[in-house]
DNA sequence: TATGTTAGGGTTATCGGTAACTCTAGCGAA
DNA sequence: TTCGCTAGAGTTACCGATAACCCTAACATA
């Protein structure tokens, strides 16, 4: 591989001169500059960013750690983050923890070893606190995305899960539903807790008593949802509507219902947090509380870059409002 | 940031000893090993992978450059690649060219500067040949994924676009369609060319004359599809079925038809290459020629890792068979 | 007793680049 | 003529880690 020393030799100058040409620093005569540039071109020189980072103590790399790369919410977020990072002159290193704490830990280790300049972090749960702590100890700026972690202080970009959930459940109530189930994510994830809060608030505001048998907890990925959702069908008094805490939970729920011979929304209504199909599907079916995923990414990167520039600035939290899209999966009763 | 020198000082030994403990090389007494390990833990030591890579001339990073991170085909592929890379002890650096040659070039530059050990590369088109050439010149192993490039020799993992397209069009013919349109991707992408071939083969095999007005060319992303698909509706004799060369083209086509008041499949049938909805959608609608995207990723990484280990091995091409999923978007005539 | 071997470690150079400083010729001002 | 300045370079040390080699005490062997 060609180095600046090879260039220097051929150009009859020192490596420092080549470095100065590359970085446009110092005083270099026009003639020398052109000669060096020509030789760099000719020899197909590619700078070694590791050597550079080693001495500059800066990589110009940001890391984005998400929990599910197959979820459109996170891919949109990633695209937003990528676009923003490029705008700021950073590269984006994407990592996917798959909602798995071990994978997450391994990735954090890699991220630290890579000496990235900052991390966009969607933690798998409250136990991620220790990992965030380590990043902070190493003085690596962190912006939490989508999920917060109790006891951890840092910049965050969050959706308003509580208000969103409440609005969705109130929508169901307005559609005439009173027996409304919640298929929630695991409670060690902040979004699940907030969505549960919103659910409870809505019921209470409308004088509907809380029935614990209508509240289920699954994981945020595909696997277990069906067996869990099936419990709703075994209840003496079935719910008329289900609110799922994310898109994949809704999908699993609907599949379960269909396997049991129920039609959605004729027999039972289903709605969820996060967009599910739009953009992917011919005729969007699901009533959702959509989040501006792309903006999650861009805003988080903006915060992160500012934080890198100024580590002492006040901590900020940006709260993004979700939007209700009323579609066909919810039936209006009577 | 803590270095091995800091550890060494505290442990009363040389940096080399610390390095040996970390890498399990050389001879170190059990007592010293434990002492060093304890101090590393205590001081929160994180190795600097750049310094390491610099001297070892190896990064243990693979790069995956795809053209559209919002397309489920590529996210599945990415997950496969990630899993396989982790299995082999590599990290995966994900980059998204967005079907944009400039972005692609910039990413290739970054990839080279990062000195990754290998590249999984889905090129934006035939013009990518020059970029691949540069990678090869720098002796960076490349595996092409999904798309080949004329004149470029390297390992490849491809889908059988020709056979898949032919089988799909023959399926349409069996369903009674004879006037079948092709909404194709740009012809500077190899998959478009192969799908066009398959389309022609199928027609010819069944004695159906080729009508050039039924062959359209759009880009593989969302933007222009609608205006292009609209042309089909202006024809004197409309097609009864459309075969779209990828999932997003199909989506744009269907949207266009619906905006014009046509129903799919009652008024016109639509099918496409690549899975569109499965996994994302309640009730998959589209008849598709699905590709094993996840396997594209794992196999490509396997090839790449083998290539890294043995640069002189014979070049290999793996061809993956697509599978027809017949669903509701295609109507059986008569 | 002399020599060889080995465990357990240390020295030094190097990877590719950059910061901070130094050097020198040529020119202008005093 | 002498001093000082400046344009246009070059020197040196260092970033953090590792390879390759070197060193020494202790013990075994001839």
Which sequence spans correspond to the domains of chain A? 4-47, 59-159+292-322, 161-291
H helix count then E strand count, chain B: 12, 12
Q: In this structure, what are the phi and psi dihedrals at residue A332, rounded to the nearest 5 degrees?
A: -85, 120
Between CA B225 and CA B249 the distance in angstroms is 6
Hey, what CATH topology would domain B59-159+292-321 get? Rossmann fold (3.40.50)
The pLDDT of residue A276 is: 81
Section B35-53 average pLDDT: 97
* Short-list B165, B125, B129, B167, CA closest to B147: B125
B79 with A69: CB under 8 angstroms?
yes
CATH number belonging to the domain at B161-291, selected among 3.40.50.2300, 3.90.1300.10, 1.10.10.10, 3.40.50.300 = 3.40.50.2300
Chain B residue at shortest CA distance from A275: B280
- Separation between the CA of B28 and the C1’ of C5 (whole angstroms): 18
Check residue A224 and give its pLDDT.
Answer: 66
Instruction: Please state at what angle helix B15-23 crosses helix B30-43, rounded to 10 degrees.
Output: 90
B255·A282 Cβ contact <8 A: yes
Using a CB-CB cut-off of 8 Å, the residues of chain B touching A283 are 258, 285
For residue B276, the model assigns a pLDDT of: 82
> At the topology level of CATH, where does B4-47 sit?
434 Repressor (Amino-terminal Domain) (1.10.260)
Per DSSP, chain A holds a count of helices (H) and strands (E) of 12, 12
pLDDT tens, N- to C-terminus, chain A (334 residues): 999 999 999 999 999 999 999 999 999 999 999 999 999 999 999 999 999 999 999 999 999 999 998 889 999 999 999 999 999 999 998 899 999 999 999 999 999 999 999 999 999 999 999 999 999 999 999 999 999 999 999 999 999 999 999 999 999 999 999 999 999 999 999 999 999 999 999 999 999 999 999 999 988 876 567 778 889 999 999 999 999 999 989 988 998 898 899 999 999 999 999 998 666 666 788 999 999 999 999 999 999 999 999 999 999 999 999 999 999 999 999 7
Q: Round to whole Å and give the CA distance between B104 and B97.
A: 5
Residue B317 has a pLDDT of 98
What is the C-alpha to C-alpha distance for residues B60 and B40, in angstroms, rounded to an integer?
23
In A42-68, which positions are buried (b, 16+ CB within 10 angstroms) versus exposed (e)?
eeebbbbbbbbbbeeeebbbbbbbbbb
Residue B49 has pLDDT above 90, yes or no: yes
Average pLDDT over residues B170-198: 97
For chain A, how many residues are written?
334
Q: Chain A partners of B327 at a C-beta cutoff of 8 Å?
A: none
Nucleic strand C under 7 Å from the C-beta of A4? yes
H runs (alpha helix) in B147-238: 161-174, 190-205, 225-234
d(C-alpha B289, C-alpha B275), whole Å:
7
Confidence of residue B88 (pLDDT cuts 50, 70, 90): very high
Question: Is A58 an interface residue toward B (CB < 8 Å)?
Answer: no
DSSP code string of A178-214: -SEEEEE--TTSHHHHHHHHHHHHHHHHTTPPP-GGG
| B207-225 residue pLDDT tens | 999 999 999 998 887 656 7
**Residue A227, pLDDT score:** 76
Contact of A55 with chain B, judged by CB distance below 8 Å, is answered with: no
Chain B contact for A76 (CB, 8 A cutoff): yes
A75 to B70: CB separation less than 8 angstroms, yes or no: yes
Question: Which of B150, B125, B133 minimizes the C-alpha distance to B67?
Answer: B125
The Cα A320–Cα A316 span in angstroms is 13
| B100 contact A CB<8A | no
Instruction: Write out pLDDT tens, residues B223-266.
Output: 567 778 889 999 999 999 999 999 989 988 998 898 899 999 99
CA–CA dist A145, A142 (Å, integer): 9
Least Cα distance to A329 among A280, A260, A263, A232 occurs for: A263
- Match domain A59-159+292-322 to its CATH number in 3.40.50.1390, 3.20.20.140, 3.40.50.2300, 3.40.50.620: 3.40.50.2300
Q: Do the chains contact at B113 and A277, CB–CB below 8 Å? A: no
B259 touches chain A (CB under 8 A): no
Distance CA B297, CA B87 (A): 13
Looking at residue A114, its pLDDT comes to 95
CB-strand contact A28/C, under 7 Å: no
Sheet with B241-244, strands from edge to edge, namely B215-217, B180-184, B241-244, B269-273, B287-290, B323-325
Q: Which nucleotide is nearest to B17 (CA to C1')?
A: C9
Whether A59-159+292-322 and A161-291 share one fold: the answer is yes
Structure tokens at B68: 């559209």
The pLDDT of residue A70 is 86
**Which of B93, B113, B264 is opposite residue A93, by nearest beta carbon?**
B93
Q: How would residue B278 be classed by pLDDT, with cut points 50, 70 and 90?
A: low
Give the nearest chain B residue to A107 (CA atoms): B91
- Across the interface, whether the CB atoms of B70 and A76 are under 8 A apart is answered yes
CA-based nearest distance B187→chain A, Å: 24
CA distances (Å), A2 to each of A6, B62, B112, B138, B271, in order?
6, 21, 12, 9, 50
């Amino acid at each position: 591989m060609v180095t600046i020393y090879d260039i220097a030799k051929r150009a009859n100058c020192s490596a420092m001169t080549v470095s100065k040409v590359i970085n446009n620093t110092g005083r270099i005569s026009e003639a020398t500059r052109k000669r060096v540039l020509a030789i760099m071109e000719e020899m197909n020189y590619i700078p070694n960013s590791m050597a550079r980072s080693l001495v500059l103590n800066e990589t110009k790399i940001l890391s984005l750690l998400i929990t599910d790369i197959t979820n459109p919410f996170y891919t949109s977020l990633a695209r937003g983050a990528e676009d923003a990072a490029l705008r700021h002159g950073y590269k984006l290193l994407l990592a996917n923890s798959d909602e798995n704490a071990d994978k997450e830990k391994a990735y954090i280790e890699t991220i630290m070893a890579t000496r990235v300049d900052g991390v966009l972090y969607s933690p798998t749960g409250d136990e991620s606190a220790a990992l965030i702590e380590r990043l902070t100890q190493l003085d690596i700026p962190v912006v939490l995305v989508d999920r917060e972690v109790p006891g951890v202080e840092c910049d965050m970009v969050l959706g308003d899960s509580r208000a969103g959930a409440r609005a969705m459940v109130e929508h169901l109530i307005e559609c005439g539903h009173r027996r409304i189930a919640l298929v929630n994510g695991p409670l060690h994830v902040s979004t699940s807790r907030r969505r549960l809060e919103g659910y409870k608030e809505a019921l209470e505001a409308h004088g509907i008593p809380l029935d614990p048998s209508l509240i289920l907890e699954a994981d945020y990925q595909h696997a277990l949802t069906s067996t869990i959702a099936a419990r709703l069908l075994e209840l003496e008094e079935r719910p008329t509507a289900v609110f799922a805490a994310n898109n994949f939970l809704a999908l699993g729920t609907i599949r379960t219902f269909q396997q049991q011979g129920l039609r959605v929304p004729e027999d039972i209504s289903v709605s969820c947090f996060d967009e599910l199909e739009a953009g992917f599907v011919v005729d969007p079916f699901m009533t959702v509380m959509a989040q501006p995923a792309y903006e999650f990414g861009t805003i988080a990167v903006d915060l992160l870059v500012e934080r890198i520039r100024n580590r002492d600035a006040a901590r900020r939290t940006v709260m993004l409002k979700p939007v209700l899209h009323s579609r066909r999966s919810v039936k209006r009763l009577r």
